[in-house]
Amino acid sequence: GAGVSQTPSNKVTEKGKYVELRCDPISGHTALYWYRQSLGQGPEFLIYFQGTGAADDSGLPNDRFFAVRPEGSVSTLKIQRTERGDSAVYLCASSPGTQETQYFGPGTRLLVL
| Site for other proteins, rule CB under 8 A | 31, 33, 35, 40-45, 48, 50, 53, 55-56, 58-59, 89, 91, 93, 98-99, 101-107, 109
Judged by beta carbon, residue 14 or residue 27, the one nearer other proteins is 27
Answer for the pair 104, 92: CB distance below 8 angstroms, yes or no: yes
Question: Which whole-number Å values give the CA distances from 57 to 22, 53, 61, 78, in the listed order?
Answer: 17, 10, 9, 13
CB 37, min distance to other proteins, A: 8
Q: With respect to other proteins, which residue has the nearer C-beta, 40 or 70?
A: 40
Minimal distance in Å, beta carbon 49 to other proteins? 8
Specify the residue, 13 or 102, whose C-beta has the smaller distance to other proteins. 102
